[in-house]
Structure 1
Amino acid sequence: MRYIVQFRDNPDTAVLRREHLEAHLGWLHQHAAQVLAAGSLWPDGQEVAEGGLWIVEADSAAQIRELLASDPFWLCGLRAGVEIWQWRKAFPELNVPV
């Protein structure tokens, strides 16, 4: 199943994000079979990310929670919270990635 995973960051954590970015990107690379797409979320016109969004292949939300527990951004305290949504793609017959 596919899921959308949306993260909110704790306030005033831009320095923490920068310090752990390389470790986080390496972690994403290691889990590319499950985390199909990932990126940061930026308020319009702002220069600091305030969260992130993933598209994940998993059997359950519990499996995703288990996965993200090892993400360096989660471990360092950057993340304030997470929402996990099961995603059902419209027009699944169209061959569009993700």
Structure 2
Amino acid sequence: MLFVVRFTDKTTMRHVRADYMAAHIDWLAARQAQIKVAGSLRHDANDYPIGALWIIEAKDRAEVENLWRTDPFWLHGMRESVEILHWSKAFPEAMVAI
């Protein structure tokens, strides 16, 4: 199953992004089989990130929750909230490069 995960960051914890970015990217890279797409969200291209969006392939919601709870950004308190939604992809056979 596919899930969309939207994170909102704490504005008071911006230092965590700078301090743990390398660890976060390494963590994501080690989980590319499950985390199909990941990236920060901003109001405008040059703004500071306010959160992130991931598309995850997992057997169920519990697997998704167990996954993001080990992310360095979560472990070091940067995330304020997490929203997990099941995603029904239109044209499931279509492969899209992003």
Q: Same fold (TM over 0.5)?
A: yes
Change (3 A) 1:8 1:93: same
C-alpha separation between the residues in 2 aligned to 1:94 and 1:36? 14
Q: TM-score, normalising length from structure 2?
A: 0.91
C-alpha separation between the residues in 2 aligned to 1:95 and 1:56? 15
Change (3 A) 1:12 1:43: farther
Q: Which residue of 2 aligns with 1:93?
A: 93
Once the two structures are aligned, what percentage of the paired residues are identical? 42
Q: What is the RMSD of the two structures over their aligned residues, measured on CA atoms? A: 1.6
Q: Which residue of 2 aligns with 1:23?
A: 23
Displacement of 1:45 in angstroms is 5.9
**For residue 32 of structure 2, what is the amino acid of its counterpart?**
A
Q: Which residue of 1 aligns with 2:40?
A: 40
What secondary structure sits across from 1:70 in the alignment? coil
C-alpha separation between the residues in 2 aligned to 1:43 and 1:95? 27
Which ranges of 4 or more aligned residues in structure 1 deviate by more than 6 Å? none
User: Where does the alignment leave 5 or more consecutive residues of structure 2 unmatched?
Assistant: none
What secondary structure sits across from 1:40 in the alignment? strand
Displacement of 1:33 in angstroms is 0.6
C-alpha separation between the residues in 1 aligned to 2:29 and 2:19? 18
C-alpha separation between the residues in 2 aligned to 1:17 and 1:46? 16
Change (3 A) 1:62 1:49: same
Displacement of 1:44 in angstroms is 2.1
Count residues in correspondence.
98
